[in-house]
Amino acid sequence: MAETISVREAALKWGLTERRIAGMCRDGSILGAYKEGKTWYIPADASRPLDGRVKTGVYKSAPPKKKLPLPVGISDYRVASTQYYYVDKTLMIRDFLDERPMVSLFTRPRRFGKTLNMDMLRTFFEISEEDTSVYFKDKAIWKQGIEYRRYQGKYPVVFVSFKDIKCENWAETFEKLSEVIGNEYARHRVLLTSSNCNEVDKAYFKKVMERLATSVELESAFMTLTKMLHEHYRIAPIIIIDEYDTPIQQGHTKAFYDQVILFMRNLFSGGFKDNKHLSFGFLTGILRVAKESIFSGLNNLTINSILDRKYSSYFGFTADEVRNMAAYYDAADQYDELCEWYDGYKFGNTDIFNPWSVINYFRNDCHAGAYWQATGSNEIIGEVLSEAGPDLYEKLQALLQGGSFLTYIDTDVIYPEIRKNPSSVYSFLLVAGYLKLVKADSTYSNGAMCEVALPNKEISFVYKKEILDQLTEIVPQASAISIQEALYTGDAGSLKEQIRRLLLESVSFFDTSDESFYHGFVLGLCALMDNRYYVRSNRESGEGRFDIQLVPKSKDLPGILIEIKAGKKTNPNLKNLAETALQQITDRQYDTELKTLGITNIIKYGVAFYGKDVEILVE
């Protein structure tokens, strides 16, 4: 333990009063000073702080204290907690020790502090030649008493992060897994000379460390390493796996899903299932993917998702934490802007700010922007949108316009079902941080009916960029602009030409089977329009339900009604069908709602489809 001196000794050393020294300890002027009970302890090598005095006895202002830098991208707890502005999350250790579940899984969006928290757990629990208690003596956990402190530095720890394993195929993924696991083995190379470990295990250890193990052999990596650590230290180790699901998502996207799932299932089973050499286990990720049977038979797994109350304040920043940070950086008057841009998440019963964006906001002189943008990839979203129907397009558009809707949320989102069940995209968007939970069914267990919306202004920008812009892969931007112009001006000929070209270039004939498909197709085109319209679908107006309605946000723009028909017989008369659709708008008075809103300039479109052909009439 580092050598310390008392307040009295420091007072004699620096020629100040004991009262003055105690005051400096309280206001943080003496770096590294900490308090146990009623006694302050000061590092023996601490420098005398400036107190602003001169020899004449006249006081002058001390130079402004330099602000701590912001921990942008810092995931090393030792560095973050001593060299940067650190938001204290150490009470997470207390909450864990109070409950002590065997294996804990924490699911949170990217950039919400998962890796830093896992490194905090490692630093607290791991046996080390360094006195790591110094990283906690000025933190909240140390004030909780000896019953928690006695766990500090007592366990061997296995720590791996899969967050950077984003490869194009299984061979490259396995090579990267071998590297990450091999590096962790090398960190424990003391086991190679341990008299408590047998030679067979040591031979396996060398093979893994040198990255020579086959995929089948590497599946036993956690099981063997925990066994050897237990034998050497005489205490069962802790396993921490950060971002466990990154290789799984990559496997789904790049078509090696079955191979990565099989490997992960066996790797985790060896480490966590009925492992007598394990004290505790921690995992983090974005998705739970429990149904994947990755944790098959693991009945000691405790799930902590964004819908659960436990640990709800430890990932992301709370309102008080953001207020304190704003005050520290002399930006207390910016709190409302911080709320508008980065607040709005609800984890359990706690309101949460996006920590990555808040930190970058202060780092950029309190300039608001979409800092969370491009911090990850979401090919899954593009996959779902490529097969989306009318309901999905309408809801995505409604979200951008500040709306919310009720949907079923299942935290057991699994990748193979996403294509089969596109509605699961809402569950994915929620757990990935693109939606907030407005209200959940009180009977929630693994799934429930939930009201969801966009969290804040930042996500509105990110949403447009990362999600709705995925549609441009289906509809080129030039075509989208031409379609917008034709809709605004009532140019049925140009609109017909653009839609027919899209049908010929991007749609399979076998996909064009019913009116629902064409409804979704046209609604998707409307979703690409700029933000000058509210897009509505299948709503009651007059004496029926219109197909699509575009309500202008400005009275200078026309209101637009679109009715769609699909030919069911071979070579139908599309012009007659388009006339029927157009007449239906008039006969059933679908323009009633627009007129009640004071919109008199209304363009009506009757659109008829068959296969890849289209006819459009306008009134």
**Would you list the DSSP string of 177-241?**
HHHHHHHHHHHTGGGGG-TTS-HHHHHHHHHHHTT---HHHHTTHHHHHHHHHHHHHSS--EEEE
Higher pLDDT, 186 or 423: 186
- Structural tokens at position 18: 């004991």
Single-letter amino acid code for the residue at 183: N
Q: What is the largest CA-CA distance in the chain?
A: 104
Higher pLDDT, 463 or 217: 217
Structure confidence by residue, pLDDT tens digits, 130-177: 999 999 999 999 999 999 999 999 999 999 999 999 999 999 999 999
Structure confidence by residue, pLDDT tens digits, 558-601: 888 888 888 877 778 888 888 888 898 888 888 888 888 888 88
Single-letter amino acid code for the residue at 7: V
Check if the beta carbon of residue 421 is closer than 8 Å to that of residue 447.
no
At residue 361 the predicted structure's pLDDT band, cuts being 50, 70 and 90, is very high
Which residues, other chains included, contact 473 with Cβ-Cβ below 8 Å and sequence gap of 6+?
382, 386
Which residues, other chains included, contact 616 with Cβ-Cβ below 8 Å and sequence gap of 6+?
492, 495, 496, 499, 578, 605, 606, 607, 608
Question: What pLDDT score was predicted for residue 326?
Answer: 95
Question: What pLDDT score was predicted for residue 17?
Answer: 77
- Taking the CB of residue 545, how many other CB atoms lie within 10 A of it? 12
Question: What pLDDT score was predicted for residue 225?
Answer: 98
| Closest listed residue to residue 484, CA positions, set 569, 560, 412, 537 | 560
Please check the confidence at residue 216 and state whether its pLDDT lies above 90. yes
Q: How far apart are CA 118 and CA 126, in angstroms?
A: 12
Structure confidence by residue, pLDDT tens digits, 283-333: 999 877 555 567 766 777 888 988 889 999 999 999 999 999 999 999 999
Taken in order 150, 153, 156, 157, the sign of the CA dihedral is positive
Least confident of 12-16, 382-386, 450-454: 382-386
Domains of the chain, first to last: 1-66 (1.10.1660.20), 77-304 (3.40.50), 319-363 (no CATH), 379-471 (no CATH), 475-618 (3.40.1350)
Residues 1-24, mean pLDDT to the nearest whole number: 77
Percent of the chain topping pLDDT 90:
43
Q: Which residues pair with 283 in a beta bridge?
A: 105, 241
Mean pLDDT computed over every residue of the chain: 84
Question: What pLDDT score was predicted for residue 557?
Answer: 82
Question: What pLDDT score was predicted for residue 111?
Answer: 92
Question: What pLDDT score was predicted for residue 53?
Answer: 42
H-run or E-run covering 609: strand 602-610
Single-letter amino acid code for the residue at 316: G
Question: What pLDDT score was predicted for residue 439?
Answer: 80
Please check the confidence at residue 57 and state whether its pLDDT lies above 50. no
Q: Which residues pair with 5 in a beta bridge?
A: 42
Question: What pLDDT score was predicted for residue 548?
Answer: 82
For 413-466, the DSSP string reads: --HHHHHH-GGGHHHHHHHTTSSEEEEE-TT-SSEEEEEEE--SHHHHHHHHHH
The model's pTM is 0.74
Per the listing, tokens 């002027």 go with: 29
Question: What pLDDT score was predicted for residue 54?
Answer: 37
Check if the beta carbon of residue 122 is closer than 8 Å to that of residue 80.
no
At residue 468 the predicted structure's pLDDT band, cuts being 50, 70 and 90, is low
Structure confidence by residue, pLDDT tens digits, 550-561: 888 877 788 888
Please check the confidence at residue 197 and state whether its pLDDT lies above 50. yes
Structure confidence by residue, pLDDT tens digits, 86-132: 999 999 999 999 999 999 999 999 999 999 999 999 999 999 999 99
Higher pLDDT, 254 or 362: 362
Question: What pLDDT score was predicted for residue 336?
Answer: 94
Higher pLDDT, 294 or 461: 461
Please check the confidence at residue 59 and state whether its pLDDT lies above 60. no
Higher pLDDT, 444 or 132: 132
Nearest 5 degrees, angle CA 246-CA 252-CA 253? 90
Structure confidence by residue, pLDDT tens digits, 474-521: 566 667 777 777 777 778 788 878 777 777 766 554 455 567 677 767
Please check the confidence at residue 269 and state whether its pLDDT lies above 80. yes
Please check the confidence at residue 16 and state whether its pLDDT lies above 60. yes
Q: Indicate left, alpha or beta for 25 from its phi (over 0: left) and psi (-120 to 50: alpha).
A: alpha
Structure confidence by residue, pLDDT tens digits, 518-537: 776 777 677 666 567 777 77
Residues 181-187, mean pLDDT to the nearest whole number: 97
Higher pLDDT, 440 or 135: 135
Three-class HEC string of 352-407: EECHHHHHHHHHCCCCCCCCCCCCCCCHHHHHHHCCCCHHHHHHHHHHHCCCEEEE
| Closest listed residue to residue 193, CA positions, set 232, 149, 156 | 232
At residue 55 the predicted structure's pLDDT band, cuts being 50, 70 and 90, is very low
